[in-house]
Amino acid sequence: MSPKDTAGTRRGDRFGALTPGRIGMAVVAVLLLVFIFENTRDVKIRLLVPEVTMPLYLALLATALLGAACGWYAARRGR
């Protein structure tokens, strides 16, 4: 038997386990979908450019992505 066979890295072990992290991410994904389907109305947004009309979920998604990018950058700079 090779060391690979006894390492416990069978496909079912790595990809089939329901870990707390995976359950948490699944809950977040479901909540995100509910939030998107509940907020489809158009809103007017004005920042530095003329007024733009877009669905509310797109505006919030863009804000979340910008926040995540800033958080990722700050975490990388801290190392």
Q: Beta-carbon neighbour count of residue 26 at 10 Å? A: 11
Domain boundaries, the chain: 1-38, 42-79
pLDDT digits (tens, 9 = 90+) for 4-26: 555 555 555 566 788 988 899 89
* Report field, pTM of the whole predicted structure over 0.85: no
- The helix (H) or strand (E) run that includes residue 54 is strand 52-55
Q: Beta-carbon neighbour count of residue 34 at 10 Å? A: 10
Q: What averages of pLDDT result for each successive group of 10 residues across the chain (79 residues)? A: 54 71 89 85 87 89 89 84
The predicted structure's pLDDT at residue 41: 92
Q: What is the DSSP string of 11-43?
A: HHHHHS---HHHHHHHHHHHHHHHHHHH--SEE
